[in-house]
Amino acid sequence: MNNHLLISLIIPCYNAERSLEKCLTSVINQSYSNLEIIIIDDGSTDGTSKIYEYFQIKDKRIKIFKQANSGVSKARNKGVKSATGEYICFVDSDDWVEPDYCSELYHLLVNENADISIIEASYEDEDGNIVFNKPISQEKIFDGNRALILLLEDEEIQSHPWGKLYKAVFFKNVNFPENLKSFEDYSTLFKIFHKTTKVAKSNKKLYHYIQREDSLSHNLSPETAYFFYLAIMEVFRFWQSSETIGNQSKISKNIIRKLLMVLKRIIRNTSVNQMKLEKEEIRKSFYSFLKYPIRDIGIEYYLYLRLYYYYPNLYAKLISK
């Protein structure tokens, strides 16, 4: 293993005492041992520090950084800036990984001379039950443009930072947006993929993504939904300004679907006078999507976009609970 290059494995954590022990146990027992394990404590107030301090005594590869609670973006940025490895990898403190997680990613990237390698995940609840089966194809090697298109389509390749190994150089001048308290990965990964020339993927499920009842995806507040809107629009503006073509219909429908989901969450969980500026901002942004014909986005999205853009009050009444 001495001939293998150093991987900086970054773990942001905040009040993770419930899951951190299992996460760190899986990380320190990786078959790929040439790791620096960077833990960023984002101002935890529970027993998180006792757990990682205990593990640091056992494993000198662990480096600990603390910051006042500022969000996962700042934590990830601090981790990247502190990394000294040739490669960067992420694991979330809620999750855990199989022993060959890093090894598979490393050998896939090196053997294929790729810029990014990807493995699949098992989507589970806290009891280990499968909650989602992601579509998986047999396509394994992608040029940079193809990988970017798949990321924008958000099916075969998704914007989670975890489950991937990156050449560290690709994070130069790329930061997770610290103004977004959530969905920061959605507005970051496309910037990294845009730099690549080759991406390699394995269908091995070596990452366990734990979906908890109190997670962001289950408790999307109107404010958090608005952050998602900002991330979606950043992706849309990038797509419109780039030379990435791809499946226009599939990408546009994916973006519109997310926008309508965000809008519904905001309207259903606010009064008429709450978040008025944000609702108007979203309404005005819909103008950019009115150009798509029915054949590209389907009649449902076609009508919803126009209904909210021209008759926002009527739309709000129709979708209210």
Coil, strand or helix: which one is 167?
strand
Reference 163, options 231, 111, 92; nearest CA is 92
| Angle at the Cα of 49 from the Cα atoms of 43 and 50, rounded to 5 degrees | 160
Q: Residue 13 is encoded by which pair of tokens?
A: 């954590």
Q: Residue 278 is encoded by which pair of tokens?
A: 């944000």
Q: Residue 316 is encoded by which pair of tokens?
A: 């709000």
Q: Is the dihedral of CA 64, 65, 66, 70 positive or negative?
A: negative
- β-strand 87-90 against 7-13: which pairing, if any? parallel
Residue 121, beta-bridge partner list: 207
The CB density around residue 258, as the number of other CB atoms within 10 Å, is: 19
Coil, strand or helix: which one is 83?
coil
Contact 279, 312 (CB under 8 A): yes
- Predicted pLDDT of residue 154: 86
The CATH homologous superfamily to which domain 7-210 belongs is: Spore Coat Polysaccharide Biosynthesis Protein SpsA; Chain A (3.90.550.10)
- Predicted pLDDT of residue 1: 44
Measured between alpha carbons, how far is 221 from 182 in angstroms, rounded to an integer?
11
**One digit per residue, pLDDT tens: the chain, 321 residues?**
457 899 999 999 999 999 999 999 999 999 999 999 999 999 999 999 999 999 999 999 999 999 999 999 999 999 999 999 999 999 999 999 999 999 999 999 999 999 999 999 999 999 889 998 887 888 899 999 999 999 988 889 999 999 999 999 999 999 998 877 667 788 899 999 999 999 999 999 999 999 876 555 556 789 989 989 999 999 999 888 876 666 678 889 999 999 999 999 999 999 999 999 999 999 999 999 999 999 999 999 999 999 999 999 999 999 886
Reference 102, options 13, 8, 170; nearest CA is 8
Contact 7, 34 (CB under 8 A): yes
- Predicted pLDDT of residue 275: 95
DSSP structural state of residue 204: E
Contact 17, 47 (CB under 8 A): yes
Q: Residue 293 is encoded by which pair of tokens?
A: 């014909």
- Predicted pLDDT of residue 248: 75
Whether the predicted model's global pTM rises above the 0.95 cut: no
Domain locations along the chain:
7-210, 222-319
- Predicted pLDDT of residue 64: 98
Measured between alpha carbons, how far is 310 from 307 in angstroms, rounded to an integer?
6
